Amino acid sequence: MPSNEISSKAYHESTKHSYLSVQLDPNYVDASTQTSAFKVYPNFYRRVRLDFNNLVHSFIGLTSAVTLEKVYKDGCSKLRVNPSAGALYPTEVYVQVRGIQGLVDGIYHLEVENNCLTLIYELIDDGLESYIIPGKSIKGFIFLISCVYYRSSWKYKNRSMRYCFLDSGHHLGALAASAYLHDKDIQLIFDFDKLALNNDLGFENKEFITACAFSGEIQDKKVRNLRMKVPFVCGTDYFEANQFVEEGYQVTSVQKSHQQILKQPQFNFDKDKFYQIIWNRRSIRRFRKQSISQEDYLYILRQLQQPIPTENYEEIEIYSVVHRVEKTSPGLYKGRHLIKLGDFSEKTGYLCINQAFVEDVGVSIARDCAVTLFFVSDYLNYQTAMQIAGFLGQRVYLASNYLGIQCSGIGAYYDDDTKELLETNKDVLYGIAIGM
């Protein structure tokens, strides 16, 4: 086995959960020490207030918009179009705009809390293309997804590396949903010079680029690297370094992914309804142990089979533990193929650590749902594989909610025991529960 593959898989191996590991380290945190969840540049930077009646603004803004504010006695939680492990939101979005009427050619930070674009770098003959697609220029949009990883490692420690990558994939899924609504094709890119770009964007060790997506006209034109570094602004109010996460990111950033032919998905959602689904998407707190129809279940599986618009790819196998689907026997399935019959709801609840909100005593999301999906992969590039798992997770959320079915992502499970249930030697990257 190549050394780079060993090192990549070692990071997943090192962050496994087991019954014993969870009992020995239940990972309690002091909520009062949580870091800030929004990155804001100084007031003297030029800003463009986003107007959702403007199609360009709407396309960009809908990738990250705040959709609900929950007020608690200790503060306010702002929920967004993309779900996040623990609602910690480590991901940020930057967009390069070139040749778009009404906006200066430059690199902007999407300031989610204040609903505006902040111009952090004005283009001349330089740009992001030289790091991502050398020899080309994009007339249109180049989006960068980054992770301010301490927002997640504050709570999840080393395992936060998984959640940062999954959250990045969800954010890409939110971007793809906005592109669909605005009749735009996008291309995701995972293999590019992330380390050089981090350096020139002035991220130090506190933030890192995970993925890119572009939409626009590709032109044969050489663009040089950014002519100067972007001034550093920290995305948290304080910071504690995690060497494991930083090394894991660097190792997985230089590995090549599997390759595939670029294809665009062909969805057929009612766009007015889909728009409302994006705004109203939520992670369900509890399921009522009700069945869903076989037709709806198969519809969701078909959406997962649609192409992912990228040439850099890691194959994700999808296992379904069916608990409550009409006209479908309970059991374990790979795709639509039955592996073994049985009621595995209690087992699945246990494997997913009986995950529920703290105050919901007796609730187990993976036990009480209709289907628990597991995403499994034997990858070359771990970072790419985890992001694609998150991207598919976003599809499950939106497709399920479109049908009136609830959804919740599950990032915590007993890794080896779950592999045993699924009868696979491949790594389990993510779980998703759907139901009523």
- Name residue, tokens 């850099």: 312
What's 326's DSSP letter?
T
pLDDT score of 205: 96
Q: Quick check: is 262 in a domain? A: no
Q: What 3-state DSSP class applies to 302?
A: helix
Residue 233 CA to residue 236 CA, distance in Å, equals 9
pLDDT score of 3: 46
How far, rounded to the nearest angstrom, does the alpha carbon of residue 339 sit from its chain's CA centroid?
29
Q: Quick check: is 267 in a domain? A: no
Q: Quick check: is 275 in a domain? A: no
pLDDT score of 176: 98
Span between the terminal Cα atoms of the chain, in Å: 44
Q: How many CA atoms within 13 Å lie on the side-chain side of 293? A: 5
pLDDT score of 361: 54
Q: Quick check: is 250 in a domain? A: yes
| Same domain? 233 vs 295 | no
Residue 179 CA to residue 175 CA, distance in Å, equals 6
Give Cβ neighbours of residue 275 (< 8 Å, ≥ 6 apart).
Answer: 181
| Same domain? 185 vs 52 | yes
Contact, 214 vs 184, CB < 8 A? no
- Which ranges of 48-159 would DSSP assign to H, the alpha helix? 55-61, 129-132, 150-156
Q: Quick check: is 24 in a domain? A: no
Last-in-domain residue among 254, 269, 295: 254
Q: Mean pLDDT per 10-residue run, the chain (436 residues)? A: 60 91 81 92 97 97 92 78 95 98 98 96 98 97 98 97 98 98 98 97 97 98 95 96 96 96 98 97 93 98 98 98 98 96 97 68 87 97 98 98 98 97 98 98
Residue type (1 letter), 316: I
- Which ranges of 201-328 would DSSP assign to H, the alpha helix? 243-253, 271-280, 294-304
Q: Quick check: is 146 in a domain? A: yes
Residue 34 CA to residue 133 CA, distance in Å, equals 38
- Which ranges of 241-381 would DSSP assign to H, the alpha helix? 243-253, 271-280, 294-304, 345-351, 365-368
Q: Identify the domain containing residue 42 by its residue range.
A: 34-254
Residue 184 CA to residue 359 CA, distance in Å, equals 42
Positive/negative CA dihedral, 289, 294, 298, 299:
negative
| Same domain? 229 vs 311 | no
Q: Quick check: is 259 in a domain? A: no
Give Cβ neighbours of residue 193 (< 8 Å, ≥ 6 apart).
Answer: 131, 132
| Same domain? 185 vs 319 | no
| Same domain? 236 vs 345 | no
Neighbours of 75 (CB within 10 A): 10
| Same domain? 323 vs 248 | no
Quick one: tokens of 405?
């079915």
How far, rounded to the nearest angstrom, does the alpha carbon of residue 365 sit from its chain's CA centroid?
20
Domain count, the chain: 2
| Same domain? 212 vs 154 | yes
Give Cβ neighbours of residue 76 (< 8 Å, ≥ 6 apart).
Answer: 69, 70
Residue 282 CA to residue 166 CA, distance in Å, equals 17
Q: How many CA atoms within 13 Å lie on the side-chain side of 223? A: 21
Last-in-domain residue among 254, 272, 296: 254
Burial 106-132, CB ≥16 within 10 A → b, else e = bbbbbbbeebbbbbbbebeebbbbbbb
Provide the whole-model pTM: 0.96
Neighbours of 224 (CB within 10 A): 11
| Same domain? 243 vs 198 | yes
| Same domain? 43 vs 182 | yes
Residue 50 CA to residue 63 CA, distance in Å, equals 12
Q: Give the bridge partners for 189, in sequence order.
A: 212
| Same domain? 221 vs 302 | no
Last-in-domain residue among 254, 276, 307: 254
Neighbours of 350 (CB within 10 A): 18
pLDDT score of 24: 78
Give Cβ neighbours of residue 361 (< 8 Å, ≥ 6 apart).
Answer: none
| Same domain? 56 vs 159 | yes
Residue 317 CA to residue 331 CA, distance in Å, equals 17
Q: Quick check: is 380 in a domain? A: yes
Neighbours of 348 (CB within 10 A): 28
Measuring CA to CA, which residue among 423, 333, 323 is closest to residue 365? Answer: 323
Domain with residue 404: its CATH number is 3.40.109.10
Residue 165 CA to residue 211 CA, distance in Å, equals 9
| Same domain? 308 vs 395 | yes
